[in-house]
Amino acid sequence: MVHFLTDNFKILFGCGLLFLSFILYYLYFRKSFAKKRQEGFSIIKARAKSDPFSGFPAPKVVDPKEYVYLTKNELAEYNGKNEKTYIGVKYDIFDVTDNQPMYGPSGSYHFFAGKETTIAMARNSTKTEDIELDFYDVKFTSDEEEALESWYNFFKSKYPLVGKVVRGKET
Ligand code: HEM
């Protein structure tokens, strides 16, 4: 009987000791756990700050049934004079209809309406020749690529993505 009690006591004592060591381990390392977690948050915050468009917010995309494929000539019809106003950046089409003060017939950036604007965006240019140029054969510098990416993300986060510019017979 006494033997049975001492055996049980040994098990209980062992478990208690194990439990205690877990508590002590947690208390001892608690600060460094919190620090690691904080570092993780800081990295996420820094990333979001350096590229505010990296996935925040998610791009707006229309119903696939309404997704359009337009050649550059067809895109030119959506120049603010009709029901819809579209802009192409990196051959993605964005619906900018809601921003008539910018892209409508008397808007300050009307010249971009209905255009594939990739080269103009990359070169931060409003020159007609840059707006009309086709970018298939153009090689961008790293600065231009960066500017283009930044404009593309800007449009993606602000306007619904409604289609693609495709190559027609005429382009
Ligand atoms: C002296 C040079 C420039 C000034 C002072 C200027 C100023 C502005 C201002 C005040 C806005 C309106 C921002 C808002 O209220 O939403 C704007 C929008 C815009 N700017 Fe410029 N800009 C300049 C050059 C350019 C150039 C070279 C480009 C060529 C890529 C450009 C492209 C745009 C575009 C696409 C928008 C419209 C953004 C939207 O859709 O909301 N800008 N600019």
What distance in angstroms lies between residue 126's CA and the mean position of ligand 1's atoms?
A: 10
Three-class DSSP category at 163: strand
53 lines ligand 1 (CB under 6 A): no
In the predicted model, is pLDDT for residue 20 greater than 70?
yes
Residue 135's pLDDT is what?
A: 67
Q: How far is CA 9 from the centre of its chain?
A: 61
Q: What is the per-residue pLDDT across 26-85, written as a single tens digit (0 to 9) for each?
A: 777 666 666 666 665 555 555 555 554 554 456 677 888 889 999 999 999 999 887 999
Q: Report how far residue 87's alpha carbon sits from residue 76's, in angstroms, rounded to the nearest whole number.
A: 9
62 lines ligand 1 (CB under 6 A): no
Q: Report how far residue 94's alpha carbon sits from residue 59's, in angstroms, rounded to the nearest whole number.
A: 11
More confident residue, 15 or 106: 106
Residue 65's pLDDT is what?
A: 83
What distance in angstroms lies between residue 117's CA and the mean position of ligand 1's atoms?
A: 13
What distance in angstroms lies between residue 7's CA and the mean position of ligand 1's atoms?
A: 82
Q: What is the per-residue pLDDT across 108-154, written as a single tens digit (0 to 9) for each?
A: 999 999 999 999 999 999 998 888 777 667 889 999 999 999 999 99
Indicate which atom in ligand 1 lies nearest the CA of residue 112. Answer: 35
Q: Report how far residue 21's alpha carbon sits from residue 85's, in angstroms, rounded to the nearest whole number.
A: 68
121 lines ligand 1 (CB under 6 A): yes
What distance in angstroms lies between residue 110's CA and the mean position of ligand 1's atoms?
A: 11
| Tokens 């960066």 found at | 146
